[in-house]
Amino acid sequence: MTTIYDEIREDHDKHRDLLNLLAETTGDSEERRDLWAAFYYDVKAHAAAEEETFYAKIMAKPDGQDDARHSVAEHKEMDDIMEELNTMGFDNPGWLTRFKTLKHDYEHHMEEEEEDIFSTAREVLSDDGDGSYAERFLDRKAKERELVDEKAEASLEE
């Protein structure tokens, strides 16, 4: 049975691959556009589902609040950079520079989750042996994937 930890780590592996591939692209190429779209939609859905099904549970426990708040704050910082990148042209020299900041920050975040947050979560939650957290995460991620554009538009209007 797959666990929430397995699902998050699997997403992280996919995101690392996409980050590395994106870093190798140049200009306003079809490859950069396709890779960015794949990364953007998956990370946005992943982060929202993670906050609702994983971090909300951790935050409900006093021993998990600090770690969960820290990670959710990092999500917001990375989301801001992703939205900034969406407003820039792919051929803008600043795009790759800003992307490299995102790449660095997100790689740090994933490492921190896997090495620190997972152990905190196992202490305050459970090992998810029955896969119920994983199932809720995957369901929520699928729903969030459909809402990415709608949420991005709403945040631009604010």
Place 156 in a pLDDT band, splitting at 50, 70 and 90.
very low
Between 8 and 149, the more confident residue is 8
pLDDT at 127: 66
- The 10s digit of each residue's pLDDT in 19-33 is 999 999 999 999 999
* pTM score: 0.90
- The 10s digit of each residue's pLDDT in 123-141 is 877 667 788 889 999 999 9
Joined tokens for residue 24: 């190798």
Joined tokens for residue 14: 């996919």
